[in-house]
Chain A
Amino acid sequence: MTIEVKNIVKKFGSFAALDNVDLKVGKGELLALLGPSGSGKTTLLRIIAGLDWPDAGEVTIDGEDALGHGASERHVGFVFQHYALFRHMTVFENVAFGLRVQPRAVRKDEATIRARVKELLDLVQLDWLANRYPSQLSGGQRQRIALARALAIEPRILLLDEPFGALDAKVRKELRQWLRSLHSEIHVTSIFVTHDQEEALEVANRVVVMDKGRIEQIGTPGDVYDNPATAFVHGFIGESIVLPVEVAGGSVRLGGRPLNIAADGAASGASKLFVRRHDMQIGPAGTGSLEGAVRHVRSFGPIQRAEIALSGGEGKTVIEIDAPRDRELQAGEIISLQPRRYRIFAVQE
């Protein structure tokens, strides 16, 4: 099932939660809406679900106008961050709810409902919890039941609002992999909201990066990581070193000193240089564009993370780099740094 969102505007008072958002989701996709809190991602999800209404714009599901229908008619599975399980019902009844509230004309008989619920509980591997109450389950179990409940109505699309946000790190990781394999099994078009970049990059086929009610970039996880479209995306996804530079006629200057890198067509003016931590080439003093003193080194796994106090113009700038451990750095050592890969974005006024 495809989803199309056009020119959506949503304001809360004078605050624009969504500012002209366009989005197309293809059949069978697993899409992540990624952004900091307040970026409008949850609002967008709720509008698609019919739990919120936009001030302007269009939402179509499978080419059919969705805004003319309430949430109960849209046939959309929604999974809440805090599960929202019905606390007075057993797990079984929670999952059966969507089947029991169907209009009499299309409602299945009791045996069919029981079989379907059993099937769903098997799917989420929790059939042994059927007679428990939500309060007796762990967070991870609750979220899987919430998912089974949403799937019971055979939704056209599945929407998940920070599905792992309330879980601890280990459970979160397990559930992530589980969700991805579940998606490849049932292939329902899905959108999930997250503020966790790792989660988005690891689970989704495509990632939509949002900030301040706008979409900054849409792309595959590799795309948004390797080719960030904007300064925001570069800063938000992956760890970046950010240096204030000045671009003038094809040369890049840091604190008045020219750097030995090409401007790559960046417009003249105040700009920011973005370099991934692991994209800084280390060399002996005097061989690269930047120079600095190693202040502190921590080694773990295959990398060493070093704090470098840059010398020159600014003097006080401290950056963190990740270097392979083939050449151990020492605190106090003076080294040179040369960006291998970098992006330059103009500073927006």
Chain B
Amino acid sequence: MSTQTSFVTPAARLQAYASTADLAVSPPSARKASDRVRQAAASRDLRSEPGPIRFIIIALALSFLTIFVVLPLVVVFASAFSKGINAYFAALAEPEALSAIKLTLLVAAISVSLNLVFGVIAAWAIAKFDFTGKTFLITLIDLPFSVSPVISGLVFVLLFGAQGYWGTWLQANNIHILFAVPGIALATIFVTFPFVARSLIPLMQEQGTQEEEAAISLGASGLQTFFRVTLPNIKWGLLYGVLLCNARAMGEFGAVSVVSGHIRGETNTMPLLVEILYNEYQFVASFAIASLLAMLALITLVVKTVLEQRLDEGQTPEGRSE
């Protein structure tokens, strides 16, 4: 279950990011200045602590990290390679494993690309227009974060299941949503919806609409304005959202588990297969798949750090004081 913990972190980080960015109504220059003051104050306070206390604090933090983050990661890779490298690759080459990897990639591709479009549209609407019900919409966007993933899956069972609202009609027309790719994709889209929108809203709100207005007054059409002005301004934030969205889409367990039906070689995604194999005592196979997810998490972390730097750089330019 180590993969689960590593996928919770980006979400928490994103929420923290979004809420700090929400507060950023003050001009960037002022904010930066106050940040610097705060940082300076913080580091001075830290340095004034006596040596032993400093040591204890750092040791505590490090050992906590080791026990809860590093150790599980090590265990994943150690177990995956416990029967040698050949067994590892043999486990990954199993048809069931391959099918799970393929399905995971397919579902991630569908849900990330749709959430990219929906997320940009939602963020655009919220950041650039005023309308009644705006606050409600913002709350609604956060709903998938606050609802248990199992509930998110169950909603789709209630809608599309045989006993659900549209079940009979779907059956009569031979349309398969539940226990098939569409259901898994739907559940994943629901769970991962907030990532793109949430990472764009504060950014777009801060940037305002002036550059768009300037572009339009210079004769640009709506599409030209979006692709030449809006999109370049939000590209790092957008990539950031897509990255986290993708990590969650590939790692989602709860919601997908409810709608998938666990048909072997057909509707099992990687996280589902990890659990099944583990329950069947196929530890090497189970941890081999888990190691892939863990690697995805590590790559995500690295890319995320790079993107965060880009985002910080992107926010400074207009903040220069005269």
Contact = CB atoms under 8 A, between A and B. Distances in A.
Contacts of B317: 87, 133-135
Where chain B touches its partner, the secondary structure class is: helix
B316 A135 contact: yes
A135 B221 contact: no
A69 to B, nearest CB: 11
A310 interface: no
B224 to A, nearest CB: 5
A51 B219 contact: no
Contact of B217 (A51, A88, A135): A51
B318 interface: yes
A168 to B, nearest CB: 6
Interface in B188-231: 210-211, 213-221, 224, 228-229
Contacts of A76: 217
B232 interface: yes
B219 A102 contact: yes
A32 to B, nearest CB: 20
Interface string B141-185: 000000000000000000000000000000000000000000000
A200 interface: no
B280 interface: no
A139 B322 contact: yes
Nearest to A94: B214
A71 B217 contact: yes
Interface residues of A, number: 37
Interface string A76-100: 1110101011111000000001100
A153 interface: yes
Interface residues of B, number: 21
Interface string B294-322: 00000000000000000000001110101
Given A80-B210, A82-B210, A97 B218 contact: yes
A98 B218 contact: yes
Nearest to A97: B218
A171 B322 CA distance: 10
Contacts of B318: 87, 134-135
B233 interface: yes
Contacts, number: 81
A51 B211 contact: no
Given A98-B218, A153-B219, A168 B213 contact: no
A42 B228 CA distance: 27
A114 to B, nearest CB: 17
Contact of A153 (B218, B232, B320): B218
Given A77-B217, A98-B218, A86 B211 contact: yes
Contacts of B220: 72, 97-98, 101
Interface in B14-69: none
Contact of B211 (A77, A87, A138, A167): A87
Given A71-B216, A87-B317, A101 B224 contact: yes
B322 A78 contact: no
A78 B233 contact: no
Contacts of A153: 218-219
Contacts of A51: 213, 216-217
A330 to B, nearest CB: 43
B233 A88 contact: yes
B64 to A, nearest CB: 40
A70 B221 CA distance: 10
Contacts of B213: 51, 71, 78, 80, 84
11 contacts: A78-B214, A80-B210, A86-B229, A97-B215, A98-B219, A102-B219, A134-B318, A138-B322, A139-B322, A150-B217, A171-B322
Interface of A: 49-51, 70-78, 80, 82, 84-88, 97-98, 101-102, 133-135, 138-139, 146, 149-150, 152-153, 166-168, 171
Given A78-B213, A84-B210, A101-B224, 4 more contacts: A51-B213, A72-B221, A85-B211, A150-B217
- In the A-B complex, the 4 residue pairs with the smallest Cβ-Cβ separation, listed nearest first, are A135-B317, A98-B218, A84-B210, A78-B217
